[in-house]
Amino acid sequence: MACGARPGHDIRVQGSRPQLIFACELDTDKLQALFSDPDLIPTLKDLHAEVALALQDFSPERAAIVRQLDAAGVGVIAWMALPRDQGYYLNAGNEPAAAARFAQFQQWSADQELHWVGLGLDIEPSLAEWAQLQQKHRFRLFLSLIGRAFEGQRVVKARAEYSTLIRQMQAQGYAVQTYQLMFLADERRVRSTILERIFGLVDVRGNLEALMIYSSFNHVLDSGMVWAYGPDAQAIAVGSTAASGDAAMDAKFPPLNWNEFSRDLIVASHLSRTVGVYSLEGCVRQGFLPRLKSLDWTQSIVLPAATVAAAQSFRGRIQIIIWIASHFVYIAAIVLVAILCLFLWWRKRRVARQTPFA
């Protein structure tokens, strides 16, 4: 239920209990430590939640966690991840590696007799590119990204290859989820492919697409970010509830506290029947899971008019930037033609002034 949704007015939102999916992204030793808590799996079962488990490795220890969850009736989604030296995330630059990883996953699942409720494809820029930013190799990365802006065929190829891979996964009986950055929704709005060309995003869908709308990157906009982007999403992933481990990054973008997290959840549940949470480990660390068991999903959340307007303005600015970037070559050509016309006009006027009786 939402009322008072007129422009310039506060918005009152009520949610309803969604299907919760907790993303878990831990190395094996930390994963084992997390699930050594005897209350964790029963709590997940009480919440009727599923777990999207990142597959950094195909170890017997990780398989044991999957079997433990499955035996308790907690569905597990295989979050496909590449080795970190291959970029980790799936994108336009590594489809052959993603296909090879899926084949390895199939063999591992068969060997370990694992059952999955779905597969998750997290489509983001490569970790190597984030590393270049952190290592201050920004100019080199900038030149690389500029070059990609003109590689339109790269988009067509990546979409075709990942669509084929998704069909292969579905043919094997898997329900496929795709996890996309929220800015892809803005790119679709302005009918552009610039983010796909530059950052390697791939606009493909499986059975369900979740937009990652993490208000922890903009606490000022609060749940207004979820409200602004949520209508474009089949499913919504909220977060982040965990610190990144980088002191400077965590100081700038701290994890959500309980009030922020619960507000995002209720707004997301108003817009979608499936809500993802990044991350399970962050929720455990902050003690959120027991509080979720008693959360009143139908309580009213008020989104202030100023916050909603700011979030919508944020989306508007992002779309303008994407549009300008998409049409940069054409804009530059128009500017050059205008400059050339002005120059020719000036030359003509100058010649006319120098000609007797002009």
C-alpha to C-alpha distance for 126 and 98, rounded to whole angstroms: 13
Confirm whether 332 is domain-assigned.
no
How would you label 203-214 residue by residue, b for 16+ Cβ within 10 Å and e otherwise? Answer: bbebebbbbbbb
Confirm whether 341 is domain-assigned.
no
Q: Does residue 1 or residue 223 have the better pLDDT?
A: 223
- Give the length of the chain: 358
- Give, in order, the Cα–Cα distances in Å from 150 to each of 147, 197, 319: 6, 7, 19
Question: Which CATH number does the domain housing residue 272 bear?
Answer: 3.20.20
Pairing of strands 76-80, 176-181: unpaired
In this predicted model, what pLDDT tens digit does every residue of 8-25 receive, in sequence order?
789 999 999 999 999 999
Q: Kindly tell me if the per-residue pLDDT of 144 is higher than 90.
A: no
Q: How many CB atoms lie within 10 A of CB 20?
A: 18
pLDDT the model gives residue 328: 73
Whether residue 36 contacts residue 69, with contact meaning beta carbons closer than 8 Å, is answered with no
In this predicted model, what pLDDT tens digit does every residue of 337-346 receive, in sequence order?
666 677 666 6
Whether residue 92 contacts residue 101, with contact meaning beta carbons closer than 8 Å, is answered with no
Whether residue 264 contacts residue 223, with contact meaning beta carbons closer than 8 Å, is answered with yes
In this predicted model, what pLDDT tens digit does every residue of 309-322 receive, in sequence order?
999 999 999 999 99
Confirm whether 207 is domain-assigned.
yes
Confirm whether 348 is domain-assigned.
no
H or E element in which residue 351 lies: helix 328-354
C-alpha to C-alpha distance for 317 and 312, rounded to whole angstroms: 9
C-alpha to C-alpha distance for 82 and 297, rounded to whole angstroms: 36
Percentage of the chain with pLDDT > 70?
A: 84
Q: Kindly tell me if the per-residue pLDDT of 142 is higher than 60.
A: no
H or E element in which residue 229 lies: helix 224-229
Confirm whether 331 is domain-assigned.
no
Q: What's the total number of domains in the chain?
A: 1
The pLDDT confidence band at residue 155, using thresholds 50, 70 and 90, is: very high
Average pLDDT over residues 129-152: 57
* Prediction pTM value: 0.88
Confirm whether 3 is domain-assigned.
no
| Full residue range of the structural domain in which residue 248 is found | 11-326
Q: Kindly tell me if the per-residue pLDDT of 358 is higher than 50.
A: no
Confirm whether 168 is domain-assigned.
yes
